[in-house]
Structure 1
Amino acid sequence: MGGTRVDTRKYEHLRGGVTDPVPGSLFALALSQGVSLAPAPGRELRFGRNRPQVDLCIGEDDLRVSRQTGLISHSGGGWQLANTGRLPIRLPGDQWLYPEHDPLPLVPGYTPMFVRGTRGREHMMEVYVIGPDGSCPPSLFDAVTQPPKRYWLTPDEKLVLVVLGQRYFAQEAFAQPLGRKQVAEEMAELQPDGEWTEKKVDRTIAAVRLRLNQDGVPGLTKDELVEPIGNMLNHNLIQALMSTSTLVPSDLSLLDGWD
């Protein structure tokens, strides 16, 4: 490997960057140890369960984790991540790197990665690649927090979407949107004078999907997805509204009083 051990007492995490960086260098941090490597052709960092034979140990007590899960190597002027284990490596943006995939270039900055083990455990490794100019992101600890972009909804749209996505807000496992018939029936109970039908529910939900799609939110139109689509359009809509805090679990209070 040819790297240097990192004092984990100095770096509890790598999200905020590292100090005294060498341009192009790599820092990697797991639960109990860390490693730094200067850029050089052929330089490698192996990680996995087998502590004696890897440079960075993750999932040491989890037999679902491969003895060598992955390999980070320097070639072509940059760092690349390869999956050398049996399980996929989860990366930001719901990206999965499988053993059969080509190595993935690591961009400058912070990249967390996860390997799923037994009983839902996830083992995390943090990687930070220093940019070619040796820069790290500035500290913003005292800056004003940027609020999330929340989307405007009419009262009827909000109520329909809360009914549609109530399983998500209740944090049920493997949640799915309610069917249009059930949404229409529940809306009729909540608003007896609203003349709610399945077609009216469809029009209400479709109007919100269209607005968000026009604002650049992906996965909300049929031509973006592959058949069979099923509930995926509404699933993606609910996820988009939750990720921006447009809808939150406390919105379930809108259903209070309905039996």
Structure 2
Amino acid sequence: MNRESLARGVPHAAPGAIVARALAGRIHADPAEGRTVRFGRNRPHVDLCVGETDLRVSRRHGLLTCRDGRWWVTNTGQLPIRMPGTRWLFPDEDSVPLPDGYTPLFIRGSRDREHLLELYVAGGTAKQLAPQHDSVTQPPTRWRFTPDEHLMLVVLGQRYLLHEANPQPVSRQHAAQVLAELQPDANWSVKRVEHMVADVRARLSAAGVHGLLREEVGEPVGNTLNDNLLRELVLSTSLVPPDLALLDDHRDDL
């Protein structure tokens, strides 16, 4: 089952409001000049707790501030905050304005763990759209998977969920190794990963997703088929950044 994620939008937020979500909770703040939202490890003294069991995360790692009609993020911690793509926000660096819509932030913690802070800024242009009060709601095209398929796709596509600049699927060999470590009794192998990925691509292709068959992309194929698959799953929010917590959940069971 997919975890709740701001990547799917915040339909009832007022224009200019910000919603922030971490593993420990969620907070909503309407726009007001000078309003701040503090985030970090020290739960009693921040508005949103992030990485409370990880000493690599600062007690107050950052601020979200409403200024001049926009929300800005400031790093007040000791480690940089990674934004989508190649952007890093370092301590004592100038604040960065947040765009409308969805922005995930990542704080690198102990043992290469990445703590996720999801942000969503409600756009101020919604009032310009024509009212659609009685129109039939368009259902999202979110693909459903078995628990094993879901875990395998999260392992395969973890670089996409981390919003790296130029992500690629992890290799089938590496995916099988990670899955075997997460589920030692589940008989994971390279062949099982290959067959499961092929089954998922075939299902989505039959449902109308282009670029998942060898004859649709041409030679050399390389990682193209799995790259197209994972981009479809991320863009459709069938896989979302909070799904990365599955990797920690399974490690806790080891």
Which residue number in structure 2 is paired with residue 118 of structure 1?
A: 110
Mapping for residues 60-209 of structure 1, pairs under 5 Å: 60-134=52-126, 141-142=140-141, 169=171, 171=174
Distance in 2 (alpha carbons) for counterparts of 1:243 and 1:83: 37
Q: Are 2:40 and 1:41 aligned?
A: no
SS at the partner of 2:60?
coil
CA contact (8 A) 1:67 1:85 kept: yes
Shift of 1:131: 0.3
Report the CA distance between 1:121 and its aligned residue. 1.3
Amino acid aligned to 2:141: D
Match for residue 18 of structure 1 among 10, 16, 23:
10
Asked if 2 retains the 8 angstrom alpha-carbon contact of 1:91 and 1:114, the reply is yes
Greater Rg over alpha carbons, structure: 1
Q: Evaluate the alpha carbon distance shift between residue 20 and residue 120 of structure 1 in structure 2; reply closer, same or farther with a 3 A threshold.
A: same
Whether contact under 8 Å (1:114, 1:122) holds in the other structure is yes
For residues 182-229 of structure 1, the C-alpha deviation after alignment (integer angstroms, 9 at most, x for no partner) is xxxxxxxxxxxxxxxxxxxxxxxxxxxxxxxxxxxxxxxxxxxxxxxx
- Give CA deviations for 1:22-54 in whole Å, capped at 9, x if unaligned: 010000001121000000100100000000000
Higher relative contact order (CA 8 A, sep 6+): 2
- How far apart in 2 are the matches of 1:124 and 1:142? 24
User: 3-state DSSP class of the match of 1:27?
Assistant: strand
Partner deviation per Cα, 1:147-202 (whole Å, 9 max, x = no partner) = xxxxxxxxxxxxxxxxxxxxx74559xxxxxxxxxxxxxxxxxxxxxxxxxxxxxx
C-alpha displacement of 1:18: 1.0
CA distance in 1, matches of 2:23, 2:85: 22
**Number of equivalences:** 145
Q: Pick closer, same or farther for the CA change 1:89–1:143 going to 2, 3 Å.
A: closer
| Paired-residue identity, % | 46
Indicate the RMSD between aligned Cα atoms, in angstroms: 2.8
TM-score normalized by the length of structure 1? 0.50
Whichever residue aligns with residue 142 of structure 1, its letter is T
- Please state how far the C-alpha of 1:120 moved relative to its aligned partner: 1.4
Instruction: Deviation per CA, 1:61-109: give whole Å up to 9, x if none.
Output: 0111000011010001100001000011011113211013210100000
Deviation larger for 107-116 or 126-135: 126-135
Unaligned ranges ≥5, structure 2: 128-136, 144-169, 176-221, 230-254
- Scaled by the length of structure 2, the TM-score of the pair is 0.51
* 2:52 paired with 1:53: no
SS in structure 2 of the partner of residue 110 of structure 1: strand
| Partner of residue 176, structure 1 | none
How far apart, in 1, do the equivalents of 2:87 and 2:225 lie?
20
Partner Cα separation in structure 1 for residue 34 and residue 228 of structure 2: 48
Unpaired runs of at least 5, structure 1:
1-10, 145-167, 173-240, 249-259
Matched AA of 2:26? G
Partner SS state of residue 94, structure 1: coil
Name whichever of 57-66 and 87-96 sits farther off.
87-96
Q: 1:31 to 1:118 in 2, by over 3 A?
A: same
